Amino acid sequence: MQDLSDLVTPSVQHGLDLAGIFVFAISGALLAVRKNFDVFGIAVLASVTALGGGIFRDVMIGAVPPAAFTELGYFVTPLFAAALVFFLHPEVERINGAVNVFDAAGLGLFCVTGTVKAYEYGLGLTASAALGLATAVGGGVLRDVLANEVPSLLRWDRDLYAVPAMVGAGIVVLCIRFDALSPLTSGLAVITAFALRLLAIGRHWRAPRAWNRRSAVSERPEGQM
């Protein structure tokens, strides 16, 4: 197995994890404000969004207890983000599309860090990419469920969500396969997934539904969050 420790150092990995946790927590806290949750609900939704995917990944690869429960920074970061949104949400909400932008940033960061960590724990390339995807989308799915929303991942009337994460994770495993993984290529994978998600939002790219579909379900799309 290729040794990634010289390419993606623990400090770089830790920094990317914290960045992803922070931006995902912001998106979760903003949704909680929009849903009129109280301060506890804001903190819970921020933490679940930020840490849910990473906890699932760590349990699956046997990295227990998960880093979310052993690293103080991982635990405190979403609470800091929740406090920031609690006091400054009017200013944060003025940023056009703030929830989608923060969510896209977290998606890009976590699909990369999740794939790298899974590979470091001995998984093959395909399984590592799958867990990178789960790391990226898992927190958002839990966020939507707790907020009484059908997860964006499953909705035909929402812009592409999982596909950008799949592309980012795919870039990482290709770089590993061809001995090209580095902080630069990892950053390019993050940016690619982030940009694809934003393009999907801006241009309303959606995945196709079943061929020759027949359904009584209403075709009227619901409004974006």
Residue with tokens 């993606």: 8
pLDDT at 1: 42
pLDDT at 145: 93
Structure confidence by residue, pLDDT tens digits, 132-155:
999 999 998 999 999 998 887 888
Helix (H, G, I), strand (E, B) or coil at 94: coil
Residue with tokens 């495993």: 173
pLDDT at 47: 96
Alpha carbons within 13 A on the beta-carbon side of 43 = 8
**Helix boundaries (H) for 62-122:** 67-70, 72-93, 98-120
Residue with tokens 């290729």: 2
Residues of the chain with pLDDT under 50: 1-3, 96, 220-225
pTM surpassing 0.85?
no
Structure confidence by residue, pLDDT tens digits, 21-47:
888 898 899 889 889 999 999 999 999
Q: How far apart are CA 157 and CA 164, in angstroms?
A: 17
Q: How far apart are CA 144 and CA 88, in angstroms?
A: 22
What is the separation of C-alpha 104 from the centre of its chain, rounded to a whole number of angstroms? Answer: 7
Q: How far apart are CA 199 and CA 165, in angstroms?
A: 13
pLDDT at 41: 95
pLDDT at 93: 60
